[in-house]
C-alpha cells in the first residue's frame, strides 16, 4: 500500500479548519433517557437540546427503561448503548435516520395501518359521503 506525505503547511491548515469548525458549532454536553416522556435527550453547550423517541430507534423498540437509561456520549457525534450493542450518530438522528433504510421503510409503511377511534369515525363519515374522492387527471 502506498504511503502519502502531506506538506506540513497543509496539515496545519486542516487542523486549524477543523478547530474553527468545531468551535462554531454547539457540542453535545450530556445525554440521558427520560422515562416519563420515553425520549432520549441530548443537551448541547449552547443550552439547546434535541429529543428523540427512544423506542422508535432500531434496536431499542423492546428495551427496558433501565437499558435505555444506560446511554453514553461517544465523542462529539455518537450515542452508545453498551448492553444493547446499539449506536447512533447525533447528526443522523437529527436528520430523522432512526435505523437502516429497510427499517425506516417498514416503519413508514405501518403508519397507514394504525387504528384509532378517530380514524374509524372519519372513515365512516367519508363512507356516508360516497367514499374516497376520485382522483382527477
Whole-number pLDDT of residue 111: 65
Cβ contact 99:59 at 8 Å = yes
Whole-number pLDDT of residue 69: 97
How many angstroms separate the first and last alpha carbons of the chain?
A: 60
Whole-number pLDDT of residue 105: 87
What's the length of the chain? 137
Whole-number pLDDT of residue 128: 86
pLDDT in tens, the chain (137 residues): 678 888 899 889 988 887 877 777 889 999 999 999 999 999 999 999 999 999 999 999 999 999 999 999 998 899 999 999 999 999 999 999 999 999 888 877 776 666 788 888 888 888 888 877 778 87
What's the angle, vertex CA 60, arms to CA 82 and CA 94, rounded to 5?
95
**Residue 84 burial class via C-beta count within 10 angstroms: exposed 0-12, middle 13-18, buried 19 and up:** middle
Sheet containing strand 78-81, edge to edge, reads 71-74, 78-81, 86-89
Domains of the chain, by residue range, sit at 25-98
Rg (the chain; Cα; Å): 23
Whole-number pLDDT of residue 89: 96
Residues paired with residue 42 on neighbouring β-strands, in sequence order: 31, 50
Pick the CATH number of 25-98 from 3.40.50.150, 3.20.20.220, 3.40.47.10, 3.30.2020.40: 3.30.2020.40
d(CA 33, CA 57): 13
What is the helix, strand, coil percentage profile of the chain, to 5? 40, 20, 40
d(CA 25, CA 60): 28
Amino acid at each position: 500500500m502506498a504511503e502519502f506525505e502531506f506538506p506540513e503547511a497543509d496539515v496545519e491548515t486542516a487542523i486549524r479548519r477543523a478547530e474553527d469548525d468545531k468551535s462554531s458549532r454547539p457540542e453535545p454536553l450530556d445525554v440521558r433517557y427520560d422515562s416519563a416522556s420515553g425520549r432520549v435527550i441530548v443537551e448541547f453547550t449552547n443550552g439547546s437540546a434535541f429529543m428523540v423517541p427512544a423506542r422508535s430507534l432500531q434496536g431499542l423498540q423492546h428495551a427496558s427503561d433501565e437499558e435505555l437509561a444506560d446511554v453514553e456520549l461517544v465523542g462529539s457525534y455518537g450515542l452508545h448503548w453498551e448492553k444493547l450493542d446499539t449506536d447512533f450518530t447525533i447528526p443522523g438522528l437529527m436528520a430523522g435516520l432512526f435505523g437502516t433504510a429497510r427499517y425506516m421503510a417498514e416503519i413508514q409503511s405501518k403508519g397507514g395501518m394504525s387504528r384509532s377511534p378517530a380514524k374509524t369515525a372519519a372513515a365512516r363519515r367519508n363512507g356516508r359521503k360516497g367514499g374516497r374522492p376520485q382522483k382527477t387527471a
